[in-house]
Amino acid sequence: MTGRFVEVADRVHVLRDPLLHVNVTLVVGADAALLVDTLSTAGQARELAEAARRVTPHPWVVVNTHHHFDHCFGNATLAADPPRPVYAHELAAAALRDPDRLRRAAYEEMRDEQPGLAAELADTVLLAPTHTVHTETVLDVGGRRVLLRHPGHGHTDADLVVHVPDAELLVAGDLVEQSGPPAFEESYPLQWPDAVADLLRLTTPTTVVVPGHGEPVDVGFVRAQHAQFVEQAWLIRAAHTAAAPPERVAAESPFGARAGLVAARRGFAELDGTA
């Protein structure tokens, strides 16, 4: 089972998928709703729709925080019939217009760890976003102002954060992680600190932040993770300047050796102009 929605702020509910700990956020307005992310498969998305309908009967708009499978492969189930608007950053939308590449990458990523899920991912019908965001877009969700903002390169080149100011809530996607270290495979670790600094400017001391995976966190958690991103970026620059191997960065990474090694290789590529 996918799980159920729990209200974490005024008429803002979060469901955490038990398989990969992915968060889906449901914002409910007077006569409309907003779903942020759609999980990994048609089956998960159907359960997600049932869980959302237990909260609200209103039609929803969908937002994808980025183009990785666990955040958008449920689009077709949730937004194709009847057709609903789907928002994403313009580069995430472009990635979703190449479904074979995304399905292949998802299968390769999960085939050893979760072979059953990998098989489902290989056959999932993808739906590309209908509306794209360059830097910012403001939505009216049943009388509630919701800001979609691209804070810059970080986890990917196409991250969106979703700000609900009247609820003091921010959906950070995978720019912030609680249940494990950040994923650096398609990242820009030298720019990631600036992206997190940008999203922090949308917060107040009492803002609830919904990470891509794990429990909702407070602003203090995000500031502490931002400091780790700053340290990681410094380690990468120093090692690159000294012609040290990426393993040197991995040994000192605040995110652990495994994540640190991936971050170092991506950061070196940024500095070499090949990322």
Q: What is the CATH number of the domain that holds 48?
A: 3.60.15.10
* For residue 275, pLDDT beyond 90: no
What would the pLDDT profile of 61-90 be if each residue is shown by its tens digit? 999 999 999 999 999 999 999 999 999 999
Asked, for residue 57, whether it belongs to a domain, the answer is: yes
- pLDDT for 3 equals 84
Q: Are 113 and 106 in contact (CB under 8 A)?
A: no
What would the pLDDT profile of 114-132 be if each residue is shown by its tens digit? 999 999 999 999 999 999 9
Asked, for residue 50, whether it belongs to a domain, the answer is: yes
229 vs 193: CA distance, rounded Å: 5
- pLDDT for 72 equals 98
Mean pLDDT value of segment 249-270: 98
* For residue 168, pLDDT beyond 90: yes
Q: Are 39 and 73 in contact (CB under 8 A)?
A: yes
Residue in the structure block whose two tokens are 């479904």: 99
Asked, for residue 79, whether it belongs to a domain, the answer is: yes
Asked, for residue 270, whether it belongs to a domain, the answer is: no
- pLDDT for 1 equals 64
Asked, for residue 259, whether it belongs to a domain, the answer is: no
Asked, for residue 255, whether it belongs to a domain, the answer is: no
DSSP 8-class letter at 165: G
Asked, for residue 205, whether it belongs to a domain, the answer is: yes
- Produce one character per residue of 83-120: b if its CB has 16 or more CB atoms within 10 Å, e if not: ebebbbbebbbebbeebeebbebbbebbeeeeeebbeb
Q: How far apart are the first and last CA of the chain?
A: 38
What would the pLDDT profile of 88-112 be if each residue is shown by its tens digit? 999 999 999 999 999 999 999 999 9
Q: Which domain holds residue 56?
A: 6-218
